[in-house]
């Protein structure tokens, strides 16, 4: 006889914490803290409320909210309900939110009051939207009047039962849908199932060393997969999540001191603000054990500054929401500051050449990965899903990252660049990240992006767009000459321009497509072809 074993999913884990860790803190924001028992009860109420609206397994519910406990409850209440939660980036334009709601066919939306007018303006253009007629607005305690068709969030929540729904959730049911950043193309909906999302969180939590006493400080919008790292890894370990409404360097330092935060997940531009904060030493940050950086490359100089400033584990994570992750563990940093490490346990990767075959060690090629938590696919985009996969001779399906990387003799990964950002100049591949790394070594350079722009002879030539440090006086031609002295002949910059800032998305990635557009729009048709 074989004894059957349960296979708990995320809702089951949260319920068990509500029982066995009832009095421990689960989530905090501002002056309010929820115990595990309270968080479990509120998320059950949200789940019952969504079911009462008619949402069933696999239905999509949009979340258009600002950071806070209400949003945290909405996200995980939706997960408990069996619906697929779709947290949307509130910093994008209204038409982008509209297109994402249309794409997923949301049957209900939970929104913060500040975003309700944006959604109201879309309703006439989306006649098939919200066929169940259930829309909930986050309006605090419900004292604020709301427009027709909306219910005050907390009054709605508190009117629901707090017992678990009887419906079963299957391991392959959709859990959440996160839209890609759209740095190189239009956003795509990345669909994850319950089992794979759970396995993702366990694998990442193990790699990032989350424990039950973790206090994770979240300062990025909770719609971001970076925040889902902090939320899920902490929640599955039974720890405590502290949510900031928005990032501010001074406020972040104060939060670490107030809550004795142990973990955080942020992007390089946030870490840059921390190391340059003039009063950082005033705050007690000794509780911090692990600071994870992802979203865009963490330049070696900044990585070293973080190590010296915070004296804790600095973990650079390279990965895709779609399902490939590597980390550079703190014990492997010495001599490898430019590396993003090795695959986390259970994940494998290869480097493919243009012919679709693995390249010899040390040569650059496309990074492909194999993991148990890979996405189900892109919603409504079978073509994109097929393009994102590679099948090996054994019949295994690998995820194509679209990134160019190389492996050193010990198997450490170095990300060279995005394939779509690569510059083809005079028939030679030029990787912007190599040029950016050189420019970042100049003491007057704060931020930089290198893009390919039209050239009548070479087809493309590298153009550096640089943000100087405050008080810097270096000129554009002097800086270009300095960089070209340190670059290979095929890499040399064709031009260099100064900018006040570089456009970035909410995850800190530079929007290179936006930077390139003006140069290519003005190019002759032959150059654009």
Please name each of the domains of the chain with its CATH number: 35-169 (3.40.50.980), 201-416 (3.40.50.12780), 428-528 (3.30.300.30)
pLDDT of residue 460: 83
Per-position pLDDT tens, the chain of length 529? 899 888 899 999 999 999 999 999 999 999 999 999 999 999 999 999 999 988 889 899 999 999 999 999 999 999 999 999 999 988 887 888 888 998 999 988 999 988 988 888 887 776 555 544 456 665 545 555 566 778 889 999 999 999 999 888 999 999 999 998 654 456 789 999 999 999 999 999 999 999 999 999 999 999 999 999 999 999 999 999 999 999 999 999 999 999 999 999 998 889 989 999 999 999 999 999 999 998 877 888 899 999 999 999 999 999 889 988 999 998 999 999 989 999 999 899 999 998 889 999 999 999 999 999 999 999 999 999 999 999 999 999 999 998 889 999 999 999 887 767 778 776 566 878 888 989 999 999 999 999 988 887 777 889 999 999 999 989 999 999 999 999 877 788 999 999 999 998 766 778 888 898 899 876 654 344 3
Among 318, 369, 362, 363, smallest CA distance to 339 is for: 318
pLDDT of residue 348: 96
Tell me the C-alpha to C-alpha distance, in Å, between residue 319 and each of 172, 204, 221, 327. Answer: 22, 11, 18, 9
Number of Cβ within a 10 Å radius of residue 397: 12
Sequence-separated (6 or more) residues with CB below 8 Å from residue 180: 187, 188, 189, 190, 321
Are the CB atoms for 373 and 196 separated by under 8 Å? Answer: yes
Angle between helices 194-208 and 225-237 (to 10 degrees): 80
Are the CB atoms for 401 and 374 separated by under 8 Å? Answer: no
Burial profile 239-251: b = 16 or more Cβ within 10 angstroms, e = fewer: bbbbbbeebebee
Q: What are phi and psi of 486, to 5 degrees?
A: -105, 0
Among 57, 29, 217, smallest CA distance to 138 is for: 29
Sequence-separated (6 or more) residues with CB below 8 Å from residue 283: 253, 254, 256, 257
The 3-class secondary structure across 308-332, one letter per residue, is HHHCCEEEEEEEECCCEEEEECHHH
Tell me the C-alpha to C-alpha distance, in Å, between residue 223 and each of 63, 91, 447. Answer: 8, 11, 26
CA distance 459 to 528: 9
Sheet of strand 108-112: strand arrangement:
151-152, 134-138, 108-112, 60-64, 84-87, 174-179, 189-193, 377-378
CA distance 471 to 39: 48
CA distance 266 to 82: 29
Sequence-separated (6 or more) residues with CB below 8 Å from residue 416: 364, 403, 404, 405, 406, 431, 433, 434
- The position carrying tokens 């950071």 is 67
* 61 strand-pairing partners: 85, 108
Number of Cβ within a 10 Å radius of residue 438: 20
CA distance 443 to 420: 29
Sequence-separated (6 or more) residues with CB below 8 Å from residue 46: 73, 74, 76, 77, 78, 80, 81, 157, 160
pLDDT of residue 146: 62
Are the CB atoms for 285 and 253 separated by under 8 Å? Answer: yes
CA distance 87 to 64: 6
Among 91, 28, 186, 206, smallest CA distance to 507 is for: 91
pLDDT of residue 455: 83
What is the number of alpha carbons within 13 Å of residue 298 lying toward its C-beta? 32
Helix (H, G, I), strand (E, B) or coil at 202: helix
- Provide the pairing of β-strand 324-328 with 84-87: unpaired
pTM of the model: 0.83
Q: Which two tokens stand for residue 515?
A: 């930077």
Segment (H or E) for 32: strand 32-35
pLDDT of residue 39: 98
C-alpha triplet 287, 288, 292: angle, nearest 5°: 170
Sequence-separated (6 or more) residues with CB below 8 Å from residue 440: 299, 301, 448
Are the CB atoms for 256 and 217 separated by under 8 Å? Answer: yes
pLDDT of residue 529: 39
């Amino acid at each position: 006889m074989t004894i059957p074993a349960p296979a708990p999913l995320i809702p089951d884990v949260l319920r068990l914490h509500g029982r066995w860790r009832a009095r421990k803190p689960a989530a905090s924001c501002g002056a309010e803290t929820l115990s595990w028992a309270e968080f479990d009860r509120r998320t059950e109420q949200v789940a019952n409320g969504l079911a009462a609206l008619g949402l069933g397994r696999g239905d999509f519910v949009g979340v258009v909210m600002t950071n806070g406990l209400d949003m945290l409850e909405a996200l995980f209440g939706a997960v408990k309900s069996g619906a697929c939660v779709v947290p949307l980036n509130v910093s994008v334009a209204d038409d982008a939110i509209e297109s994402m709601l249309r794409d997923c066919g949301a049957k209900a939306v939970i929104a913060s009051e500040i975003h309700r007018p944006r959604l109201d303006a879309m309703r006439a253009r989306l006649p098939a939207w919200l066929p169940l007629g259930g829309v909930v607005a986050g309006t605090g305690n419900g004292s604020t009047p709301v427009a027709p068709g909306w219910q005050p969030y907390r009054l709605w929540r508190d009117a629901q039962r707090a017992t678990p729904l009887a419906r079963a959730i299957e391991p392959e049911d959709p859990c959440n849908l996160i839209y890609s950043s759209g740095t190189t193309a239009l956003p795509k909906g990345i669909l994850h199932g319950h089992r794979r999302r759970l396995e993702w969180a366990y694998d990442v939590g193990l790699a990032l060393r989350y424990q039950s006493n973790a206090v994770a400080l979240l300062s990025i919008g909770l719609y971001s997969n970076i925040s889902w790292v902090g939320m899920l890894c902490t929640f599955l370990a039974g720890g405590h999540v502290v949510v900031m409404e928005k990032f501010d360097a001074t406020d972040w330092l104060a939060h670490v001191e107030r809550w004795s935060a142990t973990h955080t997940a942020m992007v390089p531009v946030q870490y840059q603000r921390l190391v340059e904060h003039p009063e950082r030493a005033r705050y007690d940050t000794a509780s911090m054990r692990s600071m994870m950086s992802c979203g865009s490359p963490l330049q070696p100089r900044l990585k070293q500054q973080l190590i010296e400033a915070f004296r804790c584990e600095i973990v650079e994570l390279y990965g895709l929401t779609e399902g490939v992750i590597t980390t550079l563990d703190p014990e492997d940093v010495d001599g490898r500051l430019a590396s993003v490490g090795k695959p986390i346990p259970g994940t494998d990767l290869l480097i493919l050449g243009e012919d679709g075959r693995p390249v010899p060690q040390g040569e650059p090629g496309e990074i492909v990965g194999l993991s148990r938590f890979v996405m189900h696919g892109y919603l409504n985009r079978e073509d994109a899903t097929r393009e994102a996969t590679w099948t090996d001779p054994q019949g295994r399906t690998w995820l194509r990252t679209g990134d160019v990387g190389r492996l050193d003799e010990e198997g450490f990964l170095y990300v060279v660049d995005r394939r779509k950002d690569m510059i083809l100049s005079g028939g030679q591949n030029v990787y912007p990240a190599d040029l950016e790394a050189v420019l970042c070594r100049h003491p007057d350079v704060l931020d930089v992006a290198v893009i390919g722009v039209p050239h009548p002879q070479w087809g493309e030539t590298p153009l550096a767009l640089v943000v100087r440090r405050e008080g810097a006086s270096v000129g554009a031609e002097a800086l270009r000459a300095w960089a070209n002295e340190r670059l290979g002949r095929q890499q040399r910059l064709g031009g260099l321009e100064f900018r006040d800032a570089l456009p970035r998305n909410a995850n800190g990635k530079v929007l290179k497509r936006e930077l390139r557009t003006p140069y290519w729009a003005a190019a002759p048709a032959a150059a654009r072809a």
